[in-house]
Each structure stands twice: as structure tokens, then as C-alpha cells.
Amino acid sequence: MNSSSDLLANITKRQRQDFLFALLGMLSLLFALVTLLALLIDLSITGVPRINAEFFTNFPSRFAERAGILSAWVGSLCIMFTTACVAIPLGVAAGVYLEEYAKKNWVSALIELNIVNLAGIPSITYGLMALGLFVYKLKLGQSILTAGLTLGLLVLPIIIVTTREAIRSIPNTIREASYAMGASKWQTIRFHILPYSVGGILTGVIISLSRAIGETAPLITIGALTFIAFLPTSPVVGHFPFLSFQWLMDPFTVMPIQMFNWLSRPQPEFHQNAAATGVVLLVMTLVMNAGAIYIRSRFRKKMKW
């Protein structure tokens, strides 16, 4: 009898502890959400009234009411395009090789460990490395190409890890069925593994780019300008071959750095400009993450096995 009562008391005590832990977790989550919501509301109240067409088409100015983010958002798009061209092919190819072709030995284990570690180191470390390698050794200067390569290296480990996880989630029965029909390893990967895993790969790519678009420390390290009143060279020219890559070597600025420049000024009008830039940057990040969620859900519904 005593043992039964002790058991019931122990169960009641554990249930009470579970309830208190769940309550504490819920209160912590609620506090974090309320704080985040308050910050977003304050940012929106300050910045949204400043957002108009001229804000996107004007260059930065010493007059707050005339200042805009034209050079900043164009620079951000150019750098994101360069980053995507560098990181996506290398990251996906490396993920496919490590998961499908590399032998499982101590060398591959060491490579995997280093990739995971690289995904977690501070971003300014990549800026210091890029400053020594791309700016001084390779003489690429403080250019869009240098910034794209730097952020490409920053997001490369994330793309490799997400690519491997997406490929690893494909059942082996698909591979076995493909081999049974006489397909080679590359044909199996090309026509079966990659199409089924493309949703997870694209999700990782978009999330990694959404992280890169808000990075500031590595770009400041390699010499991004805080004030720039001109656009990069046009990639389209009027003579053959009608394409120019001179824009890759032009100086640049990005929206986070433009925000920092305005926040460093004492006038409240510039602080309003910084808040408006923060709203634009936040919307871009949310749209990219929403796109990742949509792509993942769409491919999960489409690809069934």
C-alpha cells in the first residue's frame, strides 16, 4: 500500500515538474516574441512613413530628406548575384560528391568535421581571410567580386551541409530501383536523386543567401564604402559581345552599411532613414525565407514515394 501511494506521489510530483517546465518555456517564448514584436512595431512606425519611390531612386545625400538607398540596394543585389554564382555550384557539387562519391574513411570524416566547424565560425573571420587573400594577394581590390567571393565562402558550408541532408533523406529504394533498370551512378543522381532533393537544396540555398544579405562585418573588413553616390558599371554595352564584367571590379556599398552610416549621425532624420532601410532589408529577408518555406512545402507535396 505504501509503495502504491509513493508511486502515485512520485508520478504527481513529476507531472507537476513537467507542467512548471512547460509553463516556464512558454513564458520565455512569449517574452521573446513580445520583445521582437515591440521592436518590429517601433521600427515600422519610424521607418515606413519614409519609404516612397524617391527613397529607392535617390543616392545618399548630406540632406536627410533627399537621401535614398539606390546605390545600397543595387550593390546588395550585385553582391548577392555574385555570391549565388560562386557558392551554389560549388556547394551543391561538393555536397553531392561527399554524399555519393567520397569513400567513408578518416579523410572524408575530417573534411565533414571541418565543414561543420566552418559553418559556425564568426563572419568577421571570413572578412580577415578575404582581406589577406583576395584584396592583397590576388589584387582584386575592394570590389564587388571580392565581396561576392567573401560571402560565397561564408555561406558555402551551409549549402554543403543542407545539400547533403537533402540527398541523405532520399530512400535507398530509389537508388536500387534505378540501378536495377541499368542506370549508371551519375544517371541515378541526375534523373532521380537531385530532382527529389531539389526542394531541400533550394531551401538551404535561399536561407543561406538571406543570411548573407544582412552581413556587415566581413564587408567592412574588406573595405566597403559607407557613402557612395554612383552605380556600378552597366553589364550591358552597345558593342560586341554586348556584355561587360567591369562592374565586378567597381567599389560598392550595401544596405546594412548604409544603415550604419546613417545611425552614426546625430540628426534624427537620418535615424528615420536607417529605420526605413531596416524595414526594406527585413522585408527582403522575410520574403526570401517565405520563399524557402513555400518551395519546401511544394516539393514535398509533389515528390511522394
User: 90 or 301: which carries more pLDDT confidence?
Assistant: 90
Contact 133, 150 (CB under 8 A): no
* Helices 144-168 and 106-118, axial angle in degrees (round to 10): 120
Among 289, 233, 283, 219, which Cα is nearest to 56's? 283
Quickly list DSSP for 129-187. Answer: HHIIIIIIIS---SSHHHHHHHHHHHHHHHHHHHHHHHHHTS-HHHHHHHHHTT--HHH
Q: What are phi and psi of 236, to 5 degrees?
A: -110, 125
The span from the first CA to the last CA of the chain, in angstroms, equals 54
Instruction: Give CB contacts under 8 A, 24+ apart, made by 285-294.
Output: 285/210, 285/213, 285/214, 288/206, 288/207, 288/209, 288/210, 288/213, 289/206, 289/207, 289/210, 291/206, 292/202, 292/203, 292/206, 292/207, 292/210, 293/203
Contact 73, 258 (CB under 8 A): no
Whether 301 has a pLDDT exceeding 80, the answer reads no
As a whole number of angstroms, the distance between CA 253 and CA 272 comes to: 19
Per-residue pLDDT band for 151 (boundaries 50, 70, 90) equals very high
Whether 304 has a pLDDT exceeding 60, the answer reads no
Mean pLDDT of 130-151: 89
State the pLDDT at residue 27.
92
**How many CA atoms lie less than 13 Å away from 182 in the CB half-sphere?**
0
State the pLDDT at residue 28.
92
State the pLDDT at residue 18.
87
DSSP code at position 235: S
pTM for this predicted structure:
0.84
As a whole number of angstroms, the distance between CA 163 and CA 96 comes to: 7
DSSP code at position 234: P
Tell me the pLDDT tens digit for each residue of 94-135. 999 988 888 888 888 888 888 888 877 888 888 888 888 888
* Helices 123-130 and 144-168, axial angle in degrees (round to 10): 130
Tell me the pLDDT tens digit for each residue of 165-210. 889 888 888 888 888 888 888 888 888 888 888 888 888 888 888 8
